[in-house]
Amino acid sequence: MSAIEFNQVVKHYGQFQALKSVSFNVEEGDFFALLGPNGAGKTTLISILGGLAHATSGAVRIMGHDVATDYRNARRAVGIVPQELVFDPFFNVRETLQFQSGYFGLKKNDDWIDEILASLGLTDKAHSNMRALSGGMKRRVMVAQALVHKPPVIVLDEPTAGVDVELRQTLWQFIRRLNQQGSTIVLTTHYLEEAEELCNRIAMLKQGQLIALEDKATLLNKGKSRTLRIKLLDGTLPASLQPLVITQAGQQYDLKLSDVAALDDLLAQIKQAGVTLRDIEVNKPDLEDIFVETMHGTAA
């Protein structure tokens, strides 16, 4: 059984089609990144997962429970941190978490609440009113709220957008530990290095369609383009190569190669121009490069 199954999920907002038949699975124990530019449909997909939106057609299951027909079991199995920063100004931090526990049917949850507070660096804010917290602190409380019922599946929708470095570190440390203890994690983020560092599987959405779904390692190997860094001993770069230049610093050039095969031709042109190389270095693309390539439809 997969932790999450998206099966031909379509979502219309009036005439607008936000999701165009999206299908993929997230397996138990995955640390899964859902990437895509603004408006790609990531939040819509997560909203359908949490029952905040209804799919126009298609089915979604969490730990085998359909989010529409078996919504109570589906919701018990997932903890969602929404993208928008929201809070109830009525309560302090501990009350917020106690009420959230109650909504999930848990009466005595204070031991676990204490543990979450400690892990997210919120212990000394436990009695602060929500209104009095900074944005970063409110975000931590939202993460805590999603975890009160110890869900096997945890979904974070851009949890680190506009948040300080300290929170990012505290948060990922904690989430990583939960993943190691068996929780399935899904996150959307704009910080690709975060996805690259944390996740084992990556999906990319564009305009409501799934355009890539791979293990991170496979995806990273897939990027065909290379960055070539050369340092010239003398002379100037042939004019024919100028269009490939990404950056230049003195005699050092970074060039974009569409693939490894283009290297032969490039070296030949340099030789022909009578320029001598002092140094050369070929670099594989990182996730960000692949992301850009994929979004522009140039990847294999």
Ligand X SMILES: Nc1ncnc2c1ncn2[C@@H]1O[C@H](COP(=O)(O)OP(=O)(O)O)[C@@H](O)[C@H]1O
Q: Write out the residues near ligand X by the rule CB under 6 A.
A: 13, 16, 18, 36, 38-44
- Which residue in 88, 164, 193, 215 binds another protein (CB under 8 A)? 88
Which residues, 74 to 103, sit near Mg ion by CB under 5 A?
Answer: 83
What is the 3-class SS of the chain, one letter each residue?
CCCEEEEEEEEEECCEEEEEEEEEEECCCCEEEEECCCCCCHHHHHHHHHCCCCCCEEEEEECCEECCCCHHHHHHCEEEECCCCCCCCCCEHHHHHHHHHHHCCCCCCHHHHHHHHHHCCCHHHCCCEHHHCCHHHHHHHHHHHHHCCCCCEEEEECCCCCCCHHHHHHHHHHHHHHHHCCCEEEEECCCHHHHHHHCCEEEEEECCEEEEEEEHHHHHHHCCCEEEEEEECCCCCCHHHHHHEEEEECCEEEEEECCCCHHHHHHHHHHHCCCCEEEEEEECCCHHHHHHHHHCCCCC
Task: Choose which of 8, 57, 90, 215 interacts with another protein (CB under 8 A).
Answer: 90
Please report how close the Cβ of residue 121 comes to another protein at its closest, in angstroms.
Answer: 21
Residue 72 touches another protein, criterion: CB under 8 A: yes
**Cβ closer to Mg ion: 43 or 170?**
43
Q: Which is nearer to another protein, 76 or 224 (CB)?
A: 76
For another protein, how many residues bind (rule: CB under 8 A)? 30
Pattern 115-154, binding to another protein, x per CB under 8 A?
------------------------------x---x-----
Considering the complex, what minimum distance in angstroms separates the CB of residue 152 from another protein? 14
Distance CA(124)–CA(278), nearest Å, equals 57
State which residue, 4 or 255, has the beta carbon closest to Mg ion: 4
Tell which one of 30, 33, 43, 287 touches Mg ion (CB under 5 A).
43
Q: Which of 99, 126, 194, 231 binds another protein (CB under 8 A)?
A: 99
CA within 13 Å, CB half, 95: 10
Token pair, residue 50, equals 């949490």
Q: Which does 41 bind (CB under 5 to 8 A by kind): ligand X, another protein, Mg ion, none?
A: ligand X
103 lies in the site for another protein, by CB under 8 A: yes
Angle between helices 110-119 and 93-103 (to 10 degrees): 130
Is residue 76 near another protein by the rule CB under 8 A? yes
CB of 158 to ligand X, least distance (A): 8
- Contact partner at residue 84 from ligand X, another protein, Mg ion, none, CB < 5 to 8 Å by partner kind: another protein
- Options 38-46, 48-56, 222-230, 262-270: segment touching Mg ion (CB under 5 A): 38-46
Asked if 54 interacts with another protein (CB under 8 A), we say yes
Q: How far apart are CA 187 and CA 189, in angstroms?
A: 6
Residue 21: how many other CB atoms lie within 10 Å:
16
Scanning 24-32, 68-76, 156-164, 250-258 for contacts with another protein by CB under 8 A, the matching segment is 68-76
Binding site for Mg ion (CB under 5 A): 42-43, 83
Binding site for another protein (CB under 8 A): 13, 47, 50-54, 71-73, 75-76, 80, 82, 84, 86-90, 99-100, 102-107, 145, 149
